[in-house]
Structure formats: C-alpha cells, structure tokens
Amino acid sequence: MDELRDAALAVLAGCEVATLATAGPDGPWASPVFYAPDGFDLIFVSSPRSRHARQLAADPRCAAAIHPEPEDWRTITGVQLGGRVETLHGAGRASAMARYVRRFPFVDPEHAPEMVRRALAGIAWYRFVAEEVYLVDNTRGFGRIEV
C-alpha cells in the first residue's frame, strides 16, 4: 500500500493543474486550477465570484482529477480525489499561501507584477480536503486502485 500511496503522491507532486468538479443549481461544472499539494490535500486560489467557487460555497463537496498528458491509453496515470473544499482564513490561509508561493513564486505579493497583485487582491484561498483517493495507473493494469 505504501508503494501505491507514494505513486499517487508523485503524481500530485509532478503535476500543477487539477480539474475540480462541482455541482449546483445551474448544473455540474469542471474547472482547472493551479494547486500546491499538501499530502493529498490541494491548496488553490479562485475568485469567489467564479462558478465553481459559488457552487462550493453552497455545497463544499467536490471531486478532482490530476494527470499528466499520456502518449497512449496504456500509459494513463493519474489521481482521482473526492472530498470537500474549505475557504482558508487566518493562520491556515497564511500557511497555505506560503506553500503555494513556494510552488508558484510568480504569485509572491512582495515580488509579483502589478497585474498579479491586483488579481490576488480579489481571490480567496481554498483547501481541497481529500477524503477518497484513487490511483489510476494503466501500467499496473486497466482501472483504478483505492489508496
């Protein structure tokens, strides 16, 4: 099991974009977001006015898919996550922000271009809390494995 856990964590470390799946009164939605991994949890930023953020404010349940682009179906690898999203404030926000800036230095408020600083002023910080983790690795066989 440690080998599968390590393989799933390696996928999270090796990719930068997660596709979040949310649902609400206006229907299901999928949104790509840059993330910083914290174990199997994901730190990300979004505008609170975005469709996925509005849906998460009403219902924090969420799913995410993370995978590099495969060359063919036999080499598909990725991670599927189920969980919930929480908005970060205070010390949790500061800690998440530090982790995110280490991964994406261009968002460091002290050094970011003015355009990025303006964008950061209107975003919220979020944590996807993983409650289910599945590794998809077709090199090990077709299908997915619970981690």
Tell me the per-residue pLDDT of 60-73, one tens digit each, with 9 for 90 and over. Answer: 999 999 999 888 88
Q: What are the extents of the domains in the chain? A: 2-146
Tell me the per-residue pLDDT of 19-64, one tens digit each, with 9 for 90 and over. Answer: 999 999 999 999 999 999 999 999 999 999 999 999 999 999 999 9
CATH of 2-146, one of 3.40.50.2300, 2.30.110.10, 2.60.120.200, 3.40.50.10330: 2.30.110.10
Tell me the per-residue pLDDT of 85-102, one tens digit each, with 9 for 90 and over. Answer: 999 999 999 999 999 999
Give Rg (Cα) of the chain.
Answer: 16
Give the C-alpha separation, 70 to 19, whole Å. 16
Can you count the helices (H) and strands (E) in the chain? Answer: 4, 8
Contacts of 108 (CB under 8 A, 6+ apart): 101
- Residue 105's CB is within 10 A of a number of other CB atoms, namely 10
